[in-house]
Amino acid sequence: MKIQFSPLTLPTDGNALFLMAKGAPLSKLAQQLDAQTQGALSRALEVEEFSASKDALIHIVAPSGCELKRVLILGVESGSDLDVQQAADTLVKHIEALRLTELNVITEEPAQAAHFAYGLQLSHYRFDKYRTQPQQQAKYQLESVTFSSASPQVAQDMYQPLDAIVEGVKVTRDLIWEPANVVYPESYAQFCECLTEHGLEVEVVNSQTMAELGMGALLGVGQGSARESLMVILKYSGSDASQAPVAFLGKGVTFDSGGLSLKPNASMNTMKEDMGGAATVTGLMVTLAKRQAKVNAIGVLGLVENMPSDKAQRPSDVVTSMSGQTIEVMNTDAEGRLVLCDLMTYTQRNFKPQAMFDLATLTGAVLIALGEEIAGVFSNNDALVEQLTTAGEVEQEPVWRLPMGGQFDRLLNSDIADMRNNGNKLRIGGASVAAQFLARFVENDTPWVHIDIAGTAWTSEGLPNKPKGATGYGVRLLDRLVKEQFEK
């Protein structure tokens, strides 16, 4: 979609859209058009009892007195940034019915122009890469949108960092949508190597090097697959070299069969998305680089495929993590924490981050507890949780803190190793037990947050600015957190 900003003017042809807040009158240009069309706009507002509430949209086809094809008036509730973004979602739902391919949006306020463009880009997303039949593809898509505002340069400047977020969200969504025969550890790493064009430094660490580092927990997960396990390090330097980086770690299980603890078929069908944590970190790093964030950031991705074979890890195997702690693998389907624990040790010892966040589609338990719209968070740092919660409220990517502590730690006791990889009481506090496992790998009181996105990485119905499927959840949330708490 081509987005452009122009001086405030009334278009003479094509499709025109006016944004309208509750209680507000028609804008000056809308009043001018109303007079030109012998009151067509004001009559339509009266007949429809238009209140500018959420999802309120009216359109007038080929009004007399002008050459416009359609005039649309869209409600934006209070006119807040978030309301404007979500109003764009309403418009996107009507693109097919209205047969829109181009649009002129007239709004005097530059902020409204920028945030409506942002909302359009987030909502106007389809993954049609593998659709070959015309009837399966969208007949109409917005190809060009021009925003007329009082200060087009101001609108452009406000939109630029938002466009960087859109790019990161699209990267995340595309990676999650791709099937596992296309995105696997090697191809994912190759994709990351192309991100240098965004200003990221990229390093790929192979299995041999990881073995030499003692990363037995991560390597154990992928040993049943014919595909090599890899670790990818994405580095962005946007601040003084003396500033410790903020680290983001992503679980990248490109397909999770469950291993020898095989998942039932219904649970396995969606497991291409089990690399959602890595995808989110990748998208976030693209966003930070593209908007030239004033921060040093590290993204660390653990890329593995969890498959059953004669070489696969067995229930009751014992592996040694990079930290030196031993783990009795009681369930090969509790594999994400085995990937993350080695990433945590590697990151802390090599980069000494000022704060560390890990993201993972880790447990079905968090989906049962919080549903598809709220991520579960666990942390050893109250301030980070409060900051993350606030960021989530602003970006409509909410989080909810869940407990850790002794009762969950005791469930990890093993008879022969330092710990087991799942709780010894099945189905008891699964999300908290997984987080407690990871907490054992925090070193030197590093401020740490674990974000379980098993419910939020994918939506079965679609949400405002998040079409059905891969949501890109976490990019907006963490970009907001970085901007408000870590940029210098």
Annotated binding site for Mn(2+): 251, 256, 274, 333, 335
**Helices and strands, number each (H, E), in the chain:** 17, 19
What phi and psi, each to the nearest 5 degrees, are found at residue 387? -65, -40
In the three-class reduction of DSSP (H, G, I as helix; E, B as strand; rest coil), residue 272 is classed as helix
Q: Catalytic site residue 170?
A: no
Alpha-carbon distance of 300 to 283, in angstroms, equals 12
Give the DSSP H or E segment for 219. helix 216-222
Q: Which of 263, 401, 440, 483 is catalytic?
A: 263
The gap from C-alpha 179 to its chain's centroid, in whole angstroms, comes to: 18
Alpha-carbon distance of 254 to 262, in angstroms, equals 16
Q: Which of 337, 420, 476, 480 is catalytic?
A: 337
Nearest to 449 by CA among 351, 369, 340, 364: 340
Q: Torsion-angle region of residue 38: left (phi > 0), alpha (psi -120 to 50) or beta?
A: left
Q: Catalytic site residue 488?
A: no
Who contacts 47 (Cβ-Cβ below 8 Å, separation ≥6)? Answer: none
Give yes or no for a contact between 251 and 237, defined as CB atoms under 8 angstroms apart.
Answer: no
Q: How crowded is residue 461: how many other Cβ atoms within 10 Å of its Cβ?
A: 8
**DSSP notation for 299-334:** EEEEEEEE--STTS--TTEEEE-TTS-EEEES-TT-
Nearest to 209 by CA among 230, 185, 235, 225: 230
Could you give the residue numbers annotated as active site? Answer: 263, 337
